[in-house]
Structure 1
Amino acid sequence: MGPIEIILIVLLLVVVGVVGWGLSAYNGFIRQRNLIQESWRQVDVELNRRYELIPNLVETVRAFAGHERNTLEGIVRLRSQAQQLSSSEHGEVPSAERAQVEEQLTGAVRGLMVSVEAYPELKSNQNFLELQRQLAETEDRIAAGRRYYNANVRNYNTRIESVPSNMIANQFNFQKATYFEVNDPEVRSTPNVSFGEISYRGDAPAGGGATPASGQLGTSAPNELPNPQGQERGSIQFDQQNQFDQQPQPADRPTQYPDATEPPAQR
């Protein structure tokens, strides 16, 4: 075998290797993009569950707290906008507009639940307490889904920016996904949507006050992807007099997902 034949064989092997790597990288981007969309649908299911609970919550609060009319009207308006955006997107690629509306809706519901502390009769209403419990569970599942989604977005974006996989991303127009962020500092500082007084991790100081703990609460065109953000869980409990009690919990109980490809448990 002459030197020319050896050079041709080497060039052929190099070409085959490059083509094989390119196909593998392209398929990897497709898998990760589909995983991001799938993980968003898990959040979308829980967001729609929240849409179903909000009308009953509004009617219950209206019956006991008529002075909260402006807040209730704002929640109804935001819920209607978010539901329309969800229907138009068919659960596929959430837009930045929907992300903003969902953020505003979360803040409005949170503000309402703080306001109802001034209405003892409402706080003792069994229908309201049950709605409060269901909303708390829904928010927990939304938070878990957002953490899983954000982990997948992080891995996908890292590959898009890394060399040499960024060449495949640029060639086939794979766009970076964005996180579903909450920009309200007050929402970021609380571990959950506040249903009444918030029970924080740690021991309560003298006088019955709660000790704050840090927490977070947490989509685009055909080639853009959604962007939810995670949130730490809070705990809310009532005593027999229908008031919130401080429940100490272990300080180190973070919820972690060791592998972004493993979705959170479905309830």
Structure 2
Amino acid sequence: MGIVILIIVLVVVVGLGVWLVASYNGLVKVKNRVESAWAQIEVQLNRRHDLIPNLVATVKGYAAHEGETLEKVISARNRAVAAETPGEQAQAEKEVSGALANVFALSEAYPDLKANQSFLALQSELTSSEDRVAYARQYYNDTVNTYNTKIASFPTVFMARAAGFGEREYFQAEGDARGPVSVEF
């Protein structure tokens, strides 16, 4: 009888050990996916941010007296580059999008700018970047959802708390940041 109890205890301890290792490794795997997804957003945002100075330089040649609009673009870009959290990044990118919309609206007032090949190429590249950012943001938010669900699910929640796995923030517009961008001159 004593040996049977010992075998049962040993099986339970080994089973618990296997569960602990599998749970921890699963948490690490999904945490790394979240970090990789965030890195992809940063890659796409950096690509977008790198195009902005070229766009501003192109527009300056045609719309020199629109300096305030161009300064807003650069200022918004600088805030976006300095953002650290997904929430800060989302708010800063909303400002960048609004400022870029104003620059693109300038092309309507300047037919020569609208026909400029450099401007058209940059506009196309920025549109492409927007699509890539949207895809990367969707993937990131899906991955964060998987991670947050996993760390809150029973019984993994105990391992997550003990190992210090905390909830991650989604990359989304908040409050009045949702909705159409207004264009002003």
Give the TM-score normalised by the residue count of structure 2: 0.86
Residue equivalent to 2:10: 12
- The answer (yes or no) to whether the contact 1:107–1:187 under 8 Å persists in 2 is no
User: For residues 81 and 185 of structure 1, what CA distance do their matches in structure 2 show?
Assistant: 19
Deviations 1:138-178 (A, max 9, x none): 11111111121111111111111111111111111101111
- The answer (yes or no) to whether the contact 2:37–2:140 under 8 Å persists in 1 is yes
Residue equivalent to 1:122: 113
Residue equivalent to 1:151: 142
RMSD across aligned positions (CA): 2.2
Deviations 1:13-64 (A, max 9, x none): 1121112111101111111111111122122112111121101111222222
User: For residues 115 and 174 of structure 1, what CA distance do their matches in structure 2 show?
Assistant: 47
Deviations 1:201-232 (A, max 9, x none): xxxxxxxxxxxxxxxxxxxxxxxxxxxxxxxx
Match of 2:91 among 100, 121, 124: 100
Residue equivalent to 1:185: 178
After TM superposition, the structure 1 stretch with the greater mean CA deviation from structure 2, 11-20 or 179-188, is 179-188
Give the TM-score normalised by the residue count of structure 1: 0.61
Residue equivalent to 1:165: 156
Stretches of structure 1 lacking an aligned partner (at least 5 in a row): 189-193, 195-267
CA apart distance, 1:115? 4.1
> Given the superposition, is the C-alpha separation of residues 116 and 186 from structure 1 closer, same or farther in structure 2, using an over 3 Å criterion?
farther
Match of 2:72 among 66, 70, 74: 74
Is 1:61 aligned to 2:53, yes or no?
no
- The answer (yes or no) to whether the contact 2:87–2:170 under 8 Å persists in 1 is no
After TM superposition, the structure 1 stretch with the greater mean CA deviation from structure 2, 178-187 or 44-53, is 178-187
CA apart distance, 1:67? 4.3
Stretches of structure 2 lacking an aligned partner (at least 5 in a row): none
User: For residues 180 and 12 of structure 2, what CA distance do their matches in structure 1 show?
Assistant: 54
More helix by share: 2
CA apart distance, 1:116? 3.1
User: For residues 127 and 86 of structure 2, what CA distance do their matches in structure 1 show?
Assistant: 25
- The answer (yes or no) to whether the contact 2:48–2:129 under 8 Å persists in 1 is yes
Identity of paired residues, percent?
42
Is 1:141 aligned to 2:132, yes or no?
yes
User: For residues 104 and 53 of structure 2, what CA distance do their matches in structure 1 show?
Assistant: 14
AA aligned opposite 1:47: L
User: For residues 38 and 185 of structure 1, what CA distance do their matches in structure 2 show?
Assistant: 26
